[in-house]
Amino acid sequence: MRRNLPKLFGAKLIDAQDAFGQLCVGIDPHSVLLQSWGLTDSVTGLREFSLRVVEASAGLVSVIKPQVSFFERFGAKGYEVLAEATQLAHSKGLVVIADAKRGDIGTTMDAYLDAWFGEESGLFADAITVSPYLGLGATSEVFERWIAMGKGIYSLVATSNPQGESVQRATIHGHSLAADQWAQLSTLNGTKFGPYGAVLGATLDLASFEIDQSILNVPILAPGFGAQGALLGDASKIYGDMSNNVAYSVSRSVLQAGPNGIVDAIEIANRELAVGLNK
């Protein structure tokens, strides 16, 4: 009898977005936000906030993105909350992208992936963000076994912070480094909408980074909407032909609505995004 194989990440993401739209809610429990929710800046507050955000997001969005650093600041107990929140999100049918920005080579990167994708750690992620500057090839070599299990990565390609531009615009092989990374991700994915994704900031002029917008086989994670200035209503204008491949990430703009207003804030963001995608 043929065993059931896990759905590959690209297919899993498409199914989730077809069902619940392309909005992604970030879970960013920094101290000011916890306090604005009437919670203590503690593990207890962290847990209540994170689980509430997951519950509010379930059924309204396709993706959640916990910012790992805000859990790490509480040490081991913060990781326990992160494990509980990501497992809850998984049980609710949400695609989980851990915003961990890991990046290394060989057995070290293997260990990072075991932490996020392995069954022994207690954490759960469908995908993680990675820093590519030790080489995408180094990441892809250790990532192959996880692809078959339905996992994905999002590589930092062009980010919204101004400090990143000098690196990302540096020239390599006659193109910007960002454009070179983007092309490599497309090559790794081959003919499918694949597991190798890119982080492309929504506040950027992507053409100025030489991003080839005719490439349509790379999933995109798009931070920068809401508090950082980009408008969901401009989604198609920003990403053009790639707009259907994007997970549009919002965090402060919905989280600051508080525990009683977050559901309404997510619904408003969904309506704004629908306008931006002409849906």
- What percentage of the chain has pLDDT greater than the value 70? 98
Give the catalytic positions in this structure: 101
95-109, 147-161, 263-277: which has the highest mean pLDDT? 263-277
What's the pTM? 0.95
What span, in angstroms and rounded, lies between the C-alpha atoms of 266 and 272?
10
Helix, strand and coil in the chain, % to nearest 5:
50, 15, 35
**pLDDT tens digits along 237-268:** 999 999 999 999 999 999 999 999 999 999 99
**pLDDT tens digits along 8-58:** 999 999 999 999 999 999 999 999 999 999 999 999 999 999 999 999 999
What span, in angstroms and rounded, lies between the C-alpha atoms of 95 and 102?
19
CB atoms within 10 A of CB 87: 15
Structural domain boundaries in the chain: 9-274
**pLDDT tens digits along 176-199:** 999 999 999 999 999 999 999 999
Structure tokens at 164: 């990143």
CATH fold of 9-274: TIM Barrel (3.20.20)
Is the dihedral angle over the CA atoms 43, 45, 46, 47 positive or is it negative? positive
Which pLDDT score, from 0 to 100, does residue 149 have? 93
Is the dihedral angle over the CA atoms 74, 78, 82, 85 positive or is it negative? negative
Beta strands, E only, the chain: 23-27, 63-66, 95-102, 127-130, 152-158, 171-172, 175-176, 196-200, 220-222, 246-250
- What percentage of the chain has pLDDT greater than the value 90? 81
Which pLDDT score, from 0 to 100, does residue 161 have? 80
Is the pLDDT assigned to residue 1 strictly greater than 60?
Answer: no
Residue with the two structure tokens 């509980």: 84
Confidence tier at 2 by pLDDT (50, 70, 90): very low
Is the pLDDT assigned to residue 236 strictly greater than 60?
Answer: yes
Strands 175-176 and 127-130, sheet pairing: unpaired
Torsion, Cα 49 54 55 56, to 10 degrees, reads 90
Confidence tier at 128 by pLDDT (50, 70, 90): very high
For the residues 129-147, what does the mean pLDDT come to? 85
